[in-house]
A = this chain, B = another copy of it.
Amino acid sequence: MERHATIADVAALAGVSVGTASKALNGRGSLREETRMRVREAARQLSFEANAGARSLHSGRTYTVGMITTDTIGRFSIPVLMGAEDALGAGEMSVFLCDGRDDPIREQYYVKTLLSRRVDGMIVTGRRTEARAPIGANLPVPVVYAFISSADPGDCSVVPDEAGGARKAVEHLLAVGRTRIAHITGPEHHNSARVRAAAATERLAEDGLSLVAPPLFGGWSEVWGRQAVGILLAGRTEFDAVFCGSDQIARGVCDALRAAGRRVPQDVALIGFDNWDVMTEACQPPLTSIDLDLEGLGRSAAQMLLAAINGSPSPGRHAHPCRLVVRESTVRESTTVLLP
C-alpha cells in the first residue's frame, strides 16, 4: 500500500519547483510544452491525485454536496438519490450520503458533519411527502428539499404533483368510459392518501360525478387491497373501475377481483399509483399506473441546488408532474404507452 504522492514529490521527480508543477498540472500560466509533459509524466508515474482538501482551502469550494434522508433510505429515496447523483455528477460533484433514520439527533449531527466538511450545498429527502421542519435556520449553504418539503415556504422544495397525478388517473378512467369509480388507498393520516383522494373526488366533481363510495382508507399493502375488495363487494355498490392509492393495493385488488370472478379490465378497470415495476409487471394483467418520476424530480432538485450554489436560488415549492403509464388493466391488448 503506497503512500499518497504530494505535488512536491512530483515536482522533485520532474526537476521543477512546486509552483511550476501546479501550473503544469492545471494548465495555468505559460510553460514550455516540454516541461508540462515532463511534469505530467512524473505525476502519472507516481499516481498523483491532488489533495482535494488542500485544494479547497483556496477555492473555497469542495465540489461536494450532502444528501440527508430524514427517514431510512428506501424505495422512494433511491430514485431521487440517483436522479440527483446523475445531475450532480454531470457538474463534477460528489455526493455525501447520510441516513437520518427518523432520528432528529442523528440528523442534526449530520448537518454539522456536512458543514464541517464544507459541502457546497445539501439535499434533504425522505419517504413521506409531508412537510417537515427546516433542517436548520440560516445555514451557510443552500438547501433543497426533494420529495418531502420544508414547512418554511421560503425554502426550496421539489415535490411530486400528487394531486395532478390523481387527476390524471381519474381522467384516464373517464377516457376509457368508466364512470362508477371506487377509490382504495392508504392510511388517512398519510398526507399522500388524503391529497390523492381529494384530488380524485374533485376531478370527478368537475364532470358532475362522484366516487361510488367514500374513499376506503387502510394501509398501503396488498393485504389491504384484498380486504377492501371484500368490503366493496359486501356493500351493494356497483363499480366499473377502481383507482388505488398504491400499486401494492392495486395488485391486491386485482387478485381479489379475479378470485371473485370479476374480469380486469372488462368488468373493472384498475389503476395504481407509483408505477413500481415489481407490482405492475407481476399483476395479471399488467397494471396501469401513475409514475411519480422520482428520478426526474431528483434531477430537478439537484439542478436547482447547483443554480443556488451559483447564486441563483429558486425559493418556494415546486411541483414536479406525474406521468400516466397505460397497461392492460385499463385498456385491452394495449402495448405499454407513456402519456405526458
Contacts and interface: CB of A to CB of B under 8 A. Distances in A.
A218 to B, nearest CB: 14
Nearest to A226: B284
A213 B237 CA distance: 49
A266 interface: no
Interface stretch (A32-40, A135-143, A184-192, A299-307): A135-143
A248 B117 CA distance: 42
A314 interface: no
A198 interface: no
Question: Which of the listed residues A56, A138, A140 has the most CB atoms from chain B within 10 Å of its own CB?
Answer: A140
Interface string A238-257: 00000000001001100100
Interface residues of A, number: 51
A94 to B, nearest CB: 6
A52 B118 contact: yes
Contact of A72 (B67, B82, B97, B113): B82
A3 B140 contact: yes
Given A82-B73, A248-B278, A53 B49 contact: no
Interface of A: 1-4, 47, 49-54, 56-57, 62, 64, 67, 72-74, 78, 81-82, 85, 89, 94-99, 112-113, 115-118, 138-142, 221-223, 248, 251-252, 255, 278, 281-282
| Closest 6 pairs between A and B when the two form their complex, measured CB to CB | A53-B53, A222-B282, A97-B97, A49-B116, A52-B117, A49-B115
